[in-house]
Amino acid sequence: MGGLFGAIQVSLQNLSNMQTALSVVNENVANVNTPGYSRKRIIYAPGPYEQRPYGMLGTGAQIERVESIRDLFLESRIGQEYQAKGFYEGQQYGLSQLETIVGATDGSGIPDQLSKFFDSFLELAGDPSSSSLREVTITQGQQLAQRIQSSAARLDSLDEANRALVEDSVNTVNSLLNDIAKVNVKLQPLLKQGMDGGPLYDERQQLLNQLNEEMSVQVSEDQSHNMVITTTSGRLLLMGTEVTGLSTQKTMDGTMVLHEGIDITSEINGGKMGGLLDFQQSTLASTRAALNSLAAELVSTVNAAHHNGVDLNGDEGGDFFSATAGNEARTISVAVTDYRKLAAAAPGGGVGDGTNAQAMADLRDLKVAGLGNETFGDYYSQIVFDVGMASKGIQSNLDLQDQVLQQLEDQRESVSGVSLDEEAVNLMQYQRSYQASSRLLQVLDSLLEETLNIVNP
Amino acid sequence: MRISENSMVQDFLRNLESARQRWFGWNQQVSTGKKLQKPSDNPADSAHLVRIQDDFSRTNQYLRNISTAQSKLGTASSALNALRNLTITASEKTIGALTDTTSQDSRNAIALELEGILKNIEQVAATSVDGLYIFSGSRVDTVPFTESGGSYAYQGDDHPSMIEVTQGESIQVSVPGSEVFSDSSADLLNTMRQLIDQLKAGDVASAQATLGDLQDAGKVIDAARFKISTSINQADNINNRLNDHLLDLTSEVSRLQDADMAEAISRMAQSETALNASLGAGAHMQQGSLFDYLG
């Protein structure tokens, strides 16, 4: 259709185009603070051309599509970095607590109690018949045993808390998978038609980032645009809108993560869940084992030395500590209750002989074979060092990871984020265009009026 | 690079957070006075601190052991000194009693005095502190000597009392009675008994020989006194050494765990400035966009 009416149609089309454009600007501005929002833009295309004797004539502009601007490669990298961040976060949670448990600097920690314990034997050796010093030695032994027990109990409860967090994480993963599936119900038909997913896609991307932070997954699409999410070991978690979630099962010594009834705990190596499991299996497990070795060696070494002596009644010393084999740290306690049964003297010595008490005080410098030829104190300081190093390492990894992620998010924002200045310029442009079209319409209208007046004077 | 509104806000928040964290770190050092709050602040120093604190605790115990030792040595020393004086007096009296001009009456009188001295020696031999006999060796709960029919028998053993005063170094703080009163070369108590009996009997020749034994017993006591005074010197020396060591340890502990206040305070001020600047920048952020100029 040519002529004035055709021109009016073109103007009308442009007015409607500009209205759409303004609403896109409006949406962008409205979402300026929405996390993960990808700005939209309108892609225009010239309208269909009409063949005229004198050449091709256009019919104005059409909106081809509205698309969200995003860098898919960048977004998948962000997802991966979230896996690493989650992994470090999962470890940091337990490590910072572990640090306070082993590193008690308040003067009542295990090393302090070890020092006081050996000090008490040292003092007893100089005055072995003193009933009060004997009581002090027994009390110091009890305090040391209690301190080891309470540290072991705190490690156990840290272990339990960590397990609960693994379960929380599994629940979070399941609910995220369900959320993603819900989004897919609406999003996938659009994608299958080759359309832009817009905010649905943004929402799914946000959910995917959260999922990645929770556990390491691999995301792909099959030929018919169905989303496929698997674990890094290839177990299917989501296929389009179908979710195969994870479950947990408590076992004797931990929490298993199950997928379709199969224990996949050892396959989870990234994200918060991976970090939690890694902490549990590495640093926490080794610290618990180390504390137990310390307790076990303490029990056997001190008991052996105590057996070598004789007590105030002239009888051979019995066990000083008692503990359940294999679980020494949780069960260590002092077996000697009567101060007279403390074997401070060497066999044949009188009540004033402190030779055996001295021998027990000397255990402080003994390089214990079962502790890698370290003294008790040095062995504990090694635990402090190891935990400190692990925590320090995770902290710096986490700082670094935050920076990496910040940079990527900045890059993503620079591609997809909303800039108000830019939107203002667009707004101006569309406004002017709208004004121009209205103006044109006005001119066309007056021309049409002129024409009508000619016909009808 | 295109800067979006969102990235400005997020960057600002991150930067503010890290400025706050830095400030908090220094503030914590200033308010607690410690730079080692947890092992990860410095793992090596934290581990080192564990060992130093053990040394610290042990050194303090050694100092307490030294003061126990010194008190025991004081008791032993005064007992042995008293004993030495008693034997000297006994020797002098005996010499007086053995001159040709001394009458038997006078000898009897001197014998009586010697009886008194013997009683004193018995009392010294039975010296006890808190009910513990210092001359019984390790059988501190046993009276060192019993007398029956004018003959003394040692009831203790020959273990001297030892106290460790520094790593691997013990000092002797008592001398068993067997080394003082009934040494193989001289038996003080029985010698005194013999002497008194001989004087009473007027057996000058035998008493003369026994006097020699008494003087030998004096030498044995001197040997014991020498041991004790050696220990006293040792205790004093080690006491000084340990106090020096304790001073070193204190400064080492302080170096490892105490914050450098001058640095911490100026760093805190510095980070506070940064924090305020960051807050200020935030307040100015997003103050304007082109929208403000659209008519």
Q: How confident is the model at residue A106 (pLDDT cuts 50, 70, 90)?
A: low
Token couple for A119: 């000090």
Residues A378-421 have pLDDT tens digits of 999 999 999 999 999 999 999 999 999 989 988 988 898 888 88
Say which of A118, A419, A423 has its CB closest to residue B3.
Answer: A419
Tell which of B1, B5, B37, B167 to mutate to test the A interface (max A CBs under 10 Å).
B5
Nearest to A409 by CA among A89, A87, A82, A86: A82
Crossing angle for the helix pair B204-257 and B188-201, to the nearest 10 degrees:
160
- The whole-number average pLDDT for the span B218-228 is 93
Q: What is the ipTM of this complex?
A: 0.85
Mean pLDDT score across all residues of chain A: 91
pLDDT at A1: 53
- The whole-number average pLDDT for the span A152-164 is 93
Q: B260 CA to chain A: closest CA distance, Å?
A: 18
Residues B97-140 have pLDDT tens digits of 888 888 899 999 999 999 999 999 999 999 999 889 999 999 99
| pTM, entire model | 0.85
Residue A419: phi, psi to the nearest 5? -110, 125
> What DSSP string describes chain B?
----HHHHHHHHHHHHHHHHHHHHHHHHHHHH-BS-SSGGG-HHHHHHHHHHHHHHHHHHHHHHHHHHHHHHHHHHHHHHHHHHHHHHHHHHHHHHHTSTT--HHHHHHHHHHHHHHHHHHHHHHT-EETTEETTSTT-TTS-SEEEETTEEEE-S-S---EEEEETTEEEE----HHHHTEETTEEHHHHHHHHHHHHHHT-HHHHHHHHHHHHHHHHHHHHHHHHHHHHHHHHHHHHHHHHHHHHHHHHHHHHHHB--HHHHHHHHHHHHHHHHHHHHHHHHTTS--GGGG--
Contacts of A68 (CB under 8 A, 6+ apart): A38, A39, A40, A196, A197, A198, A199, A201, A202, A416
Residues A186-206 have pLDDT tens digits of 999 988 888 888 888 989 999
**10 Å Cβ neighbour count for A222?**
10
pLDDT at A222: 86
- The whole-number average pLDDT for the span A337-365 is 92
Q: A16 CA to chain B: closest CA distance, Å?
A: 22
Establish if B141 touches chain A: CB-CB under 8 angstroms: yes
Say which of B61, B139, B164 has its CB closest to residue A352.
Answer: B139
Q: Evaluate if residue A450 carries a pLDDT over 60.
A: yes
Mean pLDDT score across all residues of chain B: 90
Crossing angle for the helix pair A271-279 and A199-214, to the nearest 10 degrees:
10
Distance CA A71, CA A290 (A): 49
Say which of B37, B50, B69 has its CB closest to residue A377.
Answer: B50
Instruction: Show which of residues 155-214 on chain B sit within 8 Å of chain A, judged by CB atoms.
Output: 156-157, 159, 161-164, 167, 170, 173
Residues A367-384 have pLDDT tens digits of 999 999 999 999 999 999
| CB-CB neighbors (< 8 A) of B10 in chain A | 406, 409-410, 413
| CB-CB neighbors (< 8 A) of B7 in chain A | 409-410, 413-414, 417
| CB-CB neighbors (< 8 A) of A99 in chain B | 38-40
Pairing state of beta strands B169-172 and B162-166? antiparallel
